[in-house]
């Protein structure tokens, strides 16, 4: 498969869209509820996923609403640091580059977001370019408790994030 060409204008427009969603996510994701979702993969395996469902569902509903802020193929997922890696905490979408929860390296953009700053990164998934914006999730004391990642395909319309899931 040939790598699709991405124009500077399309990349800039996509980044602007993702930044708007990430900014809204910073404001609307309840960091206190997010903190209440356990992250230890030893507790959350197979059918034995121990979670405070009320908090999990509240955060997931917020993520699903955020996806509707911008038209098109926007994906949203949240991460928490677990040991020296990142763990998918609340997926609204399957992250195409994540092998499985608890087994994802902290990317430079995630590290920036864990440090309290918004960061942009380009990812490659099976030859398809993705653009991702990572933003911090804060609790009521303004401490960073996680990261929200908003991503979209930079490929032509025929390759959307929705089709990358399979």
Domain-by-domain residue ranges, the chain? Answer: 8-164
Q: pTM for the complete prediction?
A: 0.83
Crossing angle of helices 8-28 and 53-67, rounded to 10°: 150
CATH topology of domain 8-164: Beta-Lactamase (3.30.450)
The answer to whether 26 and 150 have CB atoms below 8 angstroms apart is: no
Q: From first to last of the 166 residues of the chain, give the pLDDT tens digit.
A: 456 677 889 889 999 999 999 999 999 999 999 988 876 556 555 444 566 678 888 898 999 999 889 887 888 989 888 777 777 777 777 766 654 555 678 889 999 999 999 999 998 877 778 899 999 999 999 999 999 999 988 875 544 444 444 4
Residue 101 to residues 14, 54, 86, Cα–Cα distance (Å): 26, 21, 8
């Amino acid at each position: 498969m040939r790598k699709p060409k991405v124009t500077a204008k399309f990349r800039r427009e996509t980044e602007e869209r993702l930044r708007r969603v990430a900014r809204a996510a910073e404001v609307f994701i309840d960091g206190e509820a997010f903190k209440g979702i356990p992250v230890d993969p030893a507790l959350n395996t197979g059918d034995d996923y121990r979670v405070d469902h009320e908090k999990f569902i509240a955060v997931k509903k917020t993520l699903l609403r955020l996806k509707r802020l911008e038209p098109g193929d926007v994906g949203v997922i949240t991460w928490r640091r677990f040991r020296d890696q990142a763990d998918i905490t609340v997926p609204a979408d399957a992250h195409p580059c994540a092998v499985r929860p608890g087994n994802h390296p902290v990317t430079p953009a995630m590290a920036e977001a864990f440090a309290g700053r918004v960061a942009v990164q380009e990812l490659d998934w099976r030859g398809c370019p993705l653009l991702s914006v990572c933003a911090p999730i804060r609790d009521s004391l303004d401490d960073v408790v996680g990261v929200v990642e908003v991503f979209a395909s930079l490929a032509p319309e025929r390759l959307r994030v929705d089709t990358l899931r399979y």
